[in-house]
Amino acid sequence: MKKKEKAKADACDDVPHLAEERKELLQRLAREEGTPIFVIDHAKLRKNYQEFKKHLPQVQAYFAVKANSNPEIVKTLFKAGASFDVASMPEFMIVYENIREMPAKERQDWIWDKIIYANTIKPIETLETLDQYKPLVTFDNCEELKKIRKHAPHAGLVLRIRVPNTGSMVELSSKFGADPGQAVDLIAEAFALGLVVEGLSFHVGSQCTNFANYVEALEISANIIKETETRTGKKIRILDIGGGFPVKYHPEVKSFEVLAKKLKTEIARLFPDDMQILAEPGRFLVANACTVVAKVVGKAFRDGKPSYYINDGVYHTYSGQVFDHVLYPVLAFKEGEKQISAVFGPTCDAFDTITLSAELPELDINDLVYSENIGAYSHASSTYFNGFPPAKVVHTNK
């Protein structure tokens, strides 16, 4: 093999593909459970959590429940030792179900230490419910401070700041985060209202492949913390570095290990040893732990290419293509010469187009197809549009 060809093959090997044994399991599950099915591999969930802790042992991982709020995923990560980032009361209650058998005092301590309510804008009703649990909550403006002061005065506060999101797949800075120039004033205002600001947080954007975003965000945070302590005399000892940890959807994505080394170096350089570092991995923990299997329910020849209609689509498991800007290649279990094909979802909406350029062998009605790495921001956004239900969830390796 030529050097150039070998390098290309090695790069492709960096992206995990299904082993034959796994393919056989998926086909068997599809026969037993029907289709579409959304298959969650809990062994992979545990492995991903262990990988995060291996490379960032000093960082407390708060799973971003919004990435995939399936209760069994939360249960597996809870048992593995994860903390949780929630952004709604339903998400809070999914986590709460895992701890409700604890004695009240232990439960309260666990919530205080293991949950952050990371939505900067919260309804009054939510704040009133949260107050009894005294959790960490985020804010990024004065109006939110006033609401917290009146309706959840026992909460610990974390100020979310706006940082660069350049190169991230999903940009968040246009909607969330206080301008760094206003940060110290907001923290001082919170203390003046009798509230306690525990920490600072930021988010560099989802699926961040520009690691310079993290470096700049850490430097901004360090400067704000120093200025806050000089001006108010109050110590800030929690730093939440958010999420954005990249998943290797394709070979060009740099590995998490590379980012982790950079983060450890910068954290050691910029912050004191007693700074508690939090992170909110969501996609990183669940994306490659889930696979969808669907069935061909229709077949046609349109615009010069084979066109297949399957019983899952962008209103269901493939919703991540719309909301999360991720393309999930549609693959076949069947072998054969491949040709460029179109794949459509089952609804009566032309928007329900999964891809116009899948590389597939000739398929027949009832043949199965699948997509990998589809665990994040996918099934969680499924609807019942046109009367089609979401894919049935199936668990393996629990």
Residue that the structure tokens 């020849």 belong to: 301
Residue 290 is a catalytic residue: no
- C-alpha 305/C-alpha 104 separation (Å) is 62
Q: Which of 57, 52, 37, 99 is nearest to 74 (CA)?
A: 99
Contacts of 319 (CB under 8 A, 6+ apart): 377, 378, 381, 382, 383
Structure tokens belonging to residue 279: 């992170």
- Given the residues 12, 142, 208, 348, the one annotated as active site: 348
DSSP state of 301: E
Residue 228: strand, helix, or coil:
helix
Identify the helix (H) or strand (E) that includes residue 36: none
- C-alpha 229/C-alpha 197 separation (Å) is 12
Q: Count Cα neighbours of 82 within 13 Å in the Cβ-side half-sphere.
A: 31
The C-alpha torsion from 108 through 114 and 118 to 119, rounded to 10°, is -40
Residue 22, judged by CB atoms within 10 A of its CB (0-12, 13-18, 19+), counts as middle
Q: Which of 173, 155, 156 is nearest to 164 (CA)?
A: 173
**Would you name the residues annotated as active-site residues?**
348
